[in-house]
């Protein structure tokens, strides 16, 4: 079962955005040793935005690769059809 990738990606990004806004709203009340959490939120938000645009590209690329793979492994034509009714090898090019 596949789900729409946009929903969890958007919700995750929204969560990081809310956390970032809360930390920024705390301002000077946020202890100095805990300010690194701001960068954690920025990183999470950045990765969420990246994923939102990367996943469709990845899915298109996988679909294209599957189509290419399927085309390479299609059943080959019957040898008798290629040789013709006389049993001779087909001639290629001009003589």
Output the CA torsion 72→78→81→87 (10° steps).
120
- Structural domains counted in the chain: 1
* Phi–psi pair at 45, nearest 5 degrees: -65, -45
* Contact predicate 12/41, CB 8 Å: no
Q: Is residue 29 one of the residues assigned to a domain?
A: yes
Q: Is residue 28 one of the residues assigned to a domain?
A: yes
Q: Is residue 57 one of the residues assigned to a domain?
A: yes
- pLDDT by residue for the chain (95 residues), tens only, comes to 567 888 999 999 999 999 999 999 999 999 999 999 999 999 999 999 999 999 889 988 988 888 877 777 776 555 555 555 555 555 555 54
Helices 6-26 & 36-72 angle (0-180, nearest 10): 170
* Residue 36 lies in domain: 6-67
Kind and range of the H or E run holding 87: none
Q: State if pTM tops 0.75.
A: no
């Amino acid at each position: 079962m596949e789900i729409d990738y946009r929903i969890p990606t958007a919700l995750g990004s929204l969560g990081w955005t809310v956390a970032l806004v809360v930390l920024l709203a705390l301002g000077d009340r946020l202890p100095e040793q805990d300010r690194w959490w701001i960068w954690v939120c920025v990183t999470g938000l950045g990765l969420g935005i990246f994923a939102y645009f990367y996943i469709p590209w990845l899915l298109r690329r996988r679909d294209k690769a599957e189509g290419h793979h399927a085309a390479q492994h299609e059943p080959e034509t019957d040898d008798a059809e290629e040789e013709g009714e006389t049993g001779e090898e087909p001639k290629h090019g001009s003589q």
